[in-house]
Structure 1
Amino acid sequence: MTLRFNSDGSFRVLQLADIQDGPSVHKDTIRLIEAAIREAHPDLIVLTGDQIRGYDPAYIDTFLRRRGEQPGTHVRAVTELEAKLRGVKRHPLSKALLNTQPVDDNWTIDGIGTDSPKLVRRSGNGTKSKLESWAQSINSATMGTLFEEARQKVRDTFAAFLGPALEERIPFAATYGNHDFQCGVLADDQDDIYREFSGCLNPLAGSSPLALEPGTFALPIEASDGSGRIAMSVMMVNSGDYAEHPSDAESIGHESIASYARYASNSRGWDLADSDGYGTPSPEAIEWLRTVQHELGVRNGDGRAVPAIAFQHIPPQEFYDCLKEVPAYTPNAVEGAREFAGHCYVLNHDVCRPGSRLGEAIGCADENVGEVQALREAGGYFALFCGHDHKNAFVGHVHDIDLGYAPTCGFESYGPKSRLRGIRLFEFNERNPQGYVTRMLTWGDLVGRYSSNEVRVFFEDHCVTDLIGIRNELRRPQVLATLIGVGSMGLAALAHAAFKLFRR
């Protein structure tokens, strides 16, 4: 499928960030997507990661908190609780596989799939016994069944949120975030599932110089005159998921298995934060961002970089340069995360566009891999937009490039108030793509002030998982005023009770 500017020189893109839902996508999310499509009449939809709520109880048997671990072994306590509340139980055949393993090469498992699995010694000559072969076959078949069920659940999720786009025949492209793979279905498999749907533009990884890997590829947009000249390009970038430490990792195929010692002590913890930090685009992806511009220039015949906008999930550290540091007592200030903890920030309105909103800390990686610098050196890039931080919706211009966010458009995860959840619209002009116009299409503008479950949204807006979150809540004037009011009423009640007691 060829993307091309319209005859009037326009091209519209919708960015959907952090749908983050299970197989039954929330009806309000679908309503928002439908309303945004009716409003914008987009030529392309980009999905910038965390489409899948990988930690949803639906994936409790195949959940991967990190790549390379045993599926289903490090399920978070909050997911276990949610599973109980929903009545979700583990697959009966998965219990022995997940909880009972041979202690060494001299033992194998007997009774897989029953309530009383046993360890049985191998045959004395060290060769595989019939029992061991049987156990391994059951193991393989059971995990295959569980993963095929997970794939179908992913397929159902895609079908739900892609439904409005499929109905209107709007092409779409998707990259990946830090929660997508946690369902147990990795990016290459998810890519294959996406391509089952009409209008998917995700290319087969390695099929051309424009397609590096699942989630990292270029989408050229041709000129409206039909000449085939590439007037602009949309770049999708896989920004990784969680930090890995090369000294602790070994490569197996195209995946990497890392040590989990840093988080194993709290692998079932309540917190949603990551103890090792977030990932980054791979070194190959950073280099590709440079070389792909050369490839596009060659295709145009002039060797020049084309105007390009990049989309990915996790923001680089330079997003903090759109903020300014302020004293900790500043109203509505947010405290930075991890490497930026202990410092409080508000938007720098000298570099941010009107309408920008900062609702939480920027959840970038601890390492700066030079992505923004690579974009500048390659030439042509005028903007990089991300998701990941559900409450942020700002656009700033720093380092000669626009850095911006779309907030969550989903209603099954944490985020801002219902009226502020939305989808970002981009309007490009063929003669000057760099002079694009962008705005938020929010639930409040398109649908109404409140969602169908405002109690849940209220909790998600004020949910905290650590001390930083508590301090950020206390900097919100309405929250602080409410707490002071409630505290004052409590003290007055106590004083009144004490007064009556002493009068007796």
Structure 2
Amino acid sequence: MTGSAGCDVRLRFRPDGTFRVLQLADVQDGPDVSRRAIMLIEAAVKRADPDLVVLTGDQIRGYDPAFERTYVNRRGDAPGAPLPPGVRTEAKMARVGKCVRGLLHRHNTGAASDPVEEEDTETKVMRCLSGFLGPIVSRGIPFAVTYGNHDFQCGVPLERQDELYRAFDGCLNPVDSLEPGTFGLTIDAHDGRQTAMGVMMVNSGDFAADGGYGSPSDDAVAWLGDVVKDVGAPSVVFQHIPPPEIYDCLVPVGRFTTNAIRGYRAHSGTCYVLDQEHSKPGSALREHPCCSEHNSGEVRAMKNAGGYFALFCGHDHTNSFITHHDGLDMGYTPTCGFTSYGPRGKDHALRVFEFHESDPASYTTELLDYGDLLGWVPPRALQHTFGDRALCDAGCIGDMLRKPSVRAALGVMGAVGAAAFGVVWHRLQDRPQSFPISEGAPGGGH
């Protein structure tokens, strides 16, 4: 193993031979974390009763207007890079709201200026972390953190973010890890005599220099191939961005196939559906997997090393499938956040795993979703109707049009429109015709 845990916690299976892990993916929020997200995390933690919580990246919405002064779009950008177009409008609205609050404060108090000072970025980040970690830390549950493609964009380097996480009780991120977010944890047998399972956290990168998303570093891939031998026990990997092999788990189909999803970038010329034969019940492919176009060799290194039985990720907020390919489970956990896009409100979820000491690869897992834990979610107009899916390009629109519910709605709208047109047309046809008589024409008089 590389590094030591950030706190003095020894993980082990329970006396009954089980170990429970709760995966939290894509909170993706600003300093003031959504109340619904916190409620969902709290309810999921209570229901799951986990021995470990893993956070798999994009905890921080780095492009949030609150981080406008320090925002970086790509590594190497100067702080204060232009926000994404849609967020610029959000930032302007936030500034207008701040001005209005300042005017009201001056009107009500007579003060010459708004006394509230601007928080520095680290203070804002700590507020964000305190929000989603609260339900975990308050119960004394150990947690491990890796990073996604938006965390760094707030302007706080990942090395410093690691330090901020370690300020919370229960953080297992090592002080001397290979890189922020890449490290391993061992789970002892219930009697503490041997290692029974390994949990590997991998920093899967952020953005590729030539476009698209990143992939694990060469050092991380080499480490992943070696560390499982040191652990000497079946191991599972958690990271943010899925590997390119995720497309090997899908079935290419025609572009008019119901519920088909068009691929991403290099795969955009093909539509896909799940391989139902090798997917766990309840699996759902709701958007194209946004993997890197560069194959880092991560999956190949895992298979060559042996010992790995599963890789779970986040990143694609609406996907929730688990499928098996070439000896390895690959799966998703959807977003639990409510500030970015995601599935319908009731389907925002965390994933709980129960591993068994005698055979960790024979794990069970389920999604703990908002609808089941907390009930009704107030609809968000069209976002609710179309599943909160971001309409980012023509491919997304095509994916939406392949949904049976949307096709049915469009069919009803078309039928109603055709019926209305038919009624109007027949009324026009049955209407008595009258023609003007020109002056001087036969039958015309003075």
Give the TM-score taking structure 1 as reference length: 0.77
Task: Give the whole-Å Cα distance in 1 for the aligned partners of 2:68 and 2:428.
Answer: 55
Are 1:362 and 2:289 matched, yes or no? yes
Are 1:410 and 2:337 matched, yes or no? yes
Task: Give the whole-Å Cα distance in 1 for the aligned partners of 2:378 and 2:339.
Answer: 12
SS at match of 2:43: helix
Letter in 2 for 1:78: G
Map of 1:60 onto structure 2? 68
Task: Give the whole-Å Cα distance in 1 for the aligned partners of 2:401 and 2:30.
Answer: 32
Matching of residues 14-413 of structure 1 within 5 Å: 14-87=22-95, 149-204=120-175, 207=176, 211-227=177-193, 229-244=194-209, 276-296=211-231, 305-413=232-340
- How far apart are residue 319 of structure 1 and its match? 1.0
Please provide the CA RMSD for this pair: 2.1
Task: Give the whole-Å Cα distance in 1 for the aligned partners of 2:427 and 2:93.
Answer: 44
- How far apart are residue 500 of structure 1 and its match? 5.3
Map of 2:444 onto structure 1? none
Maintained 8 Å contact 1:415/1:457:
no
Greater displacement, 307-316 / 454-463: 454-463
Structure 1 gaps of 5+ residues are 92-144, 246-275, 297-304
Residues 367 and 156 of structure 1: is their aligned pair in 2 closer, same or farther, counting only changes over 3 Å? same
Letter in 2 for 1:236: M
Letter in 1 for 2:218: P
Letter in 2 for 1:322: C
Task: Give the whole-Å Cα distance in 2 for the aligned partners of 1:171 and 1:345.
Answer: 38
- How far apart are residue 434 of structure 1 and its match? 1.1
Residues 89 and 59 of structure 1: is their aligned pair in 2 closer, same or farther, counting only changes over 3 Å? farther
SS at match of 1:157: helix
Task: Give the whole-Å Cα distance in 2 for the aligned partners of 1:35 and 1:25.
Answer: 16
Maintained 8 Å contact 2:383/2:389:
no
SS at match of 1:3: coil
Task: Give the whole-Å Cα distance in 1 for the aligned partners of 2:389 and 2:202.
Answer: 31
- How far apart are residue 485 of structure 1 and its match? 2.2
Maintained 8 Å contact 1:417/1:461:
yes
Task: Give the whole-Å Cα distance in 1 for the aligned partners of 2:128 and 2:392.
Answer: 27
Task: Give the whole-Å Cα distance in 2 for the aligned partners of 1:329 and 1:335.
Answer: 11
SS at match of 1:350: helix
Task: Give the whole-Å Cα distance in 2 for the aligned partners of 1:488 and 1:337.
Answer: 34
- How far apart are residue 323 of structure 1 and its match? 1.2
* CA deviations over 1:49-75 (Å, ceiling 9, x no partner): 011111111111111111111222231
Letter in 1 for 2:19: F
Q: Give the structure with higher Rg (CA).
A: 2
Maintained 8 Å contact 1:175/1:215:
yes
Residue-pair matches, total: 406
Maintained 8 Å contact 1:418/1:454:
no
SS at match of 2:399: helix
Structure 2 gaps of 5+ residues are 1-8, 100-116, 434-446
SS at match of 1:160: helix
Task: Give the whole-Å Cα distance in 1 for the aligned partners of 2:39 and 2:308.
Answer: 33
Task: Give the whole-Å Cα distance in 2 for the aligned partners of 1:323 and 1:408.
Answer: 21
* CA deviations over 1:266-302 (Å, ceiling 9, x no partner): xxxxxxxxxx110000000000001212333xxxxxx
- How far apart are residue 498 of structure 1 and its match? 5.5
- How far apart are residue 28 of structure 1 and its match? 0.9
- How far apart are residue 457 of structure 1 and its match? 4.5
Letter in 2 for 1:230: T
SS at match of 2:366: strand
SS at match of 1:87: helix
Q: Percent identity?
A: 50
Letter in 2 for 1:23: P
Give the TM-score taking structure 2 as reference length: 0.87
Letter in 2 for 1:287: A
SS at match of 1:155: helix
Maintained 8 Å contact 1:333/1:346:
yes
Maintained 8 Å contact 1:414/1:457:
no
